[in-house]
Amino acid sequence: MRPSRRATIGLLALSLAAAGGVVAWSSSHQAKAADSGPVTIVSSDFEDGTTQNWASRSGTEVVENSTTVAHGGTHSLSITERTSTWRGPVLDVLDVMEMGTQYTITVWVQLASDASSDSARLSVERQLSGTASYETVVNNTAVSAGTWTKLSGTYTLATEVDFLTVYIETANAYPSFYLDDFTMTYVPATPIESGIPNVKDVYDQFPMGAAISRASLLGERGKLLAKHFNSITAGNAMKWDATERTEDTFTYTDADAMVTFAKANNMQVRGHTLVWHNQTPAWVFQDASGATLTATEENKALVLSRLENHIRNVAGHFGDDIYAWDVVNEVIDEGQSDGNRRSSWYTLTGLDYIRTAFTVAREVAPNAELCINDYNTTVTSKRDFLYNLVSTLKAEGVPIDCVGHQMHGNIDWPSASDTEAAITKFAALGVKQQITEMDISIYTDNSSSYTSIPDSALASQATRYKALFDVYVAHKADIDSVTLWGLEDGDSWLNTYPITRIDAPLLFDRNLQSKPAYWTLIGQTSPAASATSVTASPSASSASPSASSVSPSASSASPSTSPVSPSASSASPSDPGTSVCSVTYSVAGQWPSGFQGSVVLKNTGTATISGWKLSWAFADGQKISQLWNGSYTQSDATVTVTNASWNGTLAPGTSATFGFLGSWSSTNSIPTAFTVNGATCS
């Protein structure tokens, strides 16, 4: 076995001077001149007639050089005789990929001439001492015969490994395919701006936090994190699928590294999250045979016992290292008459899962601030349902200390007045409040996409940040923590949600440099003459650190999600047949027996749609288990999704996006026909 790619993790435990620097591992890559441009580490064009070190992942499929088709030149790599979706071509990159460096990985894929359309994704498998982890670099992307499709994304190795490969797999079937012109490049890290004011010092009224992945601890990113923030949230490393993927087997490697870094740099740690309807392994809601649990008293007791065991282990492991926990996350669905999200937690236990979670968390973490966390709390209906729930549970003696406002917004929303109204309302309950997942998208809809972000969008973003922070400071007696959902624009979940597009929702850009929003927040004029536009290919998106997956092991991951620009107005139904519409249905992620779907409904007509019901039929027995940004019913194969209160009005040219989790067995084909309010959509 070759030696592992090891960073000296102990170095992360050393803090430097009060300027906020940290000692972190530095690779030979980063020693190159910063102005040298992209450096190519691996390039596979197959023009020499060999496989250029590409091999069969399982040993059964055939991987060989081919001249049948080519993206560039006359040769490509052919992959045939596949017998499952994960079997395909693989490349060993252990000896060329360095820890802490962000790589751009690109490959072109085309299906064989006799293959039906499918989706392909680009992934990484890493191992240490025989324990494997799988990470998605580029999520499911439609591929077909006769056309080359580009897969491109970024990846940062953030942990020591002794096995590291890049591979391509398909989502639904196992067609033969070709790949060509694979490259892996990096741009030497740009040093952070060490002489500018620290955000945490300018806003010393409350801890200033950032949500991070383990990669955020390394190199220049680690320096940026320690300089400007004094609180961190693990974006995914403390969620259920990361800490207890299989029952009673607990893993804390990434989360422990974050806690170690925080201690070394005098930072606090927020825990996120003990209970959520997403990223909870399927076994939690299954019996010993793997069958889905039904709502019985016996099953309720089983689920609550699993919940208690999970919290006692996870919260107990971290103890007083966590100053606040998001105990339960996103339990409100304003589309329901009672406001309660119809998650598996709720359908099996009612509100007892919330009562149990807070009660056990208080026993295990008596000194932590215990929060109930949700998005769109500035929308009246969502806010009121959450207020009533917290009021009721506190009256019962449930130990809820704090309400978390996620505050995912955009350059037009939410307003300062709506934000202030939400904070004022919950202050009356006598709870603390935290801003837990703040970011401000440069887009105000779910479909637009820039190739070059205009200065005007960044200026509007700066204005919105300042307006909301002014509210936080004015209510500093009620707010005791503010956290941004990410460290820099390149690792934001908004680069892949609600669609793949370049977004820039944070204070620092992809090169770790300050943006107009930063300078507006600290009350100074930027030394730069004007904002620098960000340019990228729409198809070359950053891989979100919150996206993990894939075969052969099954997991799905996403950050706490909220829709773009909800409206507080309620919707009334449209007349059948009057709307003109289009629907984009995609499989955002798939694993054995489960998948995540995404649907974009667009009004392509000239009249406003006021209230919509979208219907389709599954062809292969798929079943939806959870849905967000709307409500749903399913009768056999037929699914009907109804708008939420805030996304029911679609002006011409605008769209609404919703997502769901579902199950599948042998096939997961995409529906071919959709109707909205009785009218057929394209």
Q: How confident is the model at residue 660 (pLDDT cuts 50, 70, 90)?
A: confident
CATH architecture under which domain 38-186 falls = Sandwich (2.60)
Whole-Å CA distances, 17 to 25, 194, 226, 228, 513: 17, 12, 11, 14, 21
State CA 125 to chain mean position distance.
19
Least confident piece of the model among 192-196, 595-599, 607-611, 619-623: 595-599
Whole-Å CA distances, 150 to 66, 96, 182, 540: 19, 23, 10, 9
Contact 90, 54 (CB under 8 A): yes
Nearest Cα to Cα of residue 123 among 81, 151, 147: 151
Contact 433, 420 (CB under 8 A): no
- The percent of residues in the chain predicted with pLDDT above 70, rounded, is 86
φ/ψ of residue 323, rounded to 5? -90, -20
Instruction: Give the model confidence (pLDDT) of 444-462 as tens digits.
Output: 999 999 988 999 999 999 9
Instruction: Give the model confidence (pLDDT) of 493-527 as tens digits.
Output: 998 888 888 999 999 999 899 999 999 999 988 87
Please check the confidence at residue 10 and state whether its pLDDT lies above 80.
no
- Find the catalytic residue in 118, 254, 321, 330: 330
* CATH number of the 200-522 domain: 3.20.20.80
> Rounded to a whole number, what is the distance in angstroms from the first to the last CA of the chain?
54
Q: How confident is the model at residue 574 (pLDDT cuts 50, 70, 90)?
A: very low
- What is the rounded CA–CA span in Å between residue 37 and residue 254? 31
Q: What is the pLDDT of residue 322?
A: 98
Pairing of the two strands 408-410 and 432-441: parallel
Please check the confidence at residue 645 and state whether its pLDDT lies above 90.
no
φ/ψ of residue 585, rounded to 5? -110, 130
Active site residue 374: yes
- Find the catalytic residue in 326, 374, 420, 439: 374
- Find the catalytic residue in 220, 244, 321, 437: 437
Map out the domains of the chain as residue ranges: 38-186, 200-522, 581-681
Q: What is the pLDDT of residue 528?
A: 64
Mean local confidence (pLDDT), 140-165: 92
- Mean pLDDT, the chain, integer: 86
Residues 6+ apart with CB under 8 A from 339: 332, 333, 381, 384, 385, 386, 388, 389
Please check the confidence at residue 537 and state whether its pLDDT lies above 90.
no
Instruction: Give the model confidence (pLDDT) of 378-427 as tens digits.
Output: 999 999 999 999 999 999 999 999 999 999 999 999 999 999 999 999 99
Q: What is the pLDDT of residue 559?
A: 53
Q: And the tokens for 645?
A: 């209160």
Q: What is the pLDDT of residue 495?
A: 87
Q: Provide the residue type at 124 as one letter.
A: V
Fold that domain 581-681 belongs to in CATH: Immunoglobulin-like (2.60.40)
Q: How confident is the model at residue 158 (pLDDT cuts 50, 70, 90)?
A: confident
Q: What is the pLDDT of residue 21?
A: 32
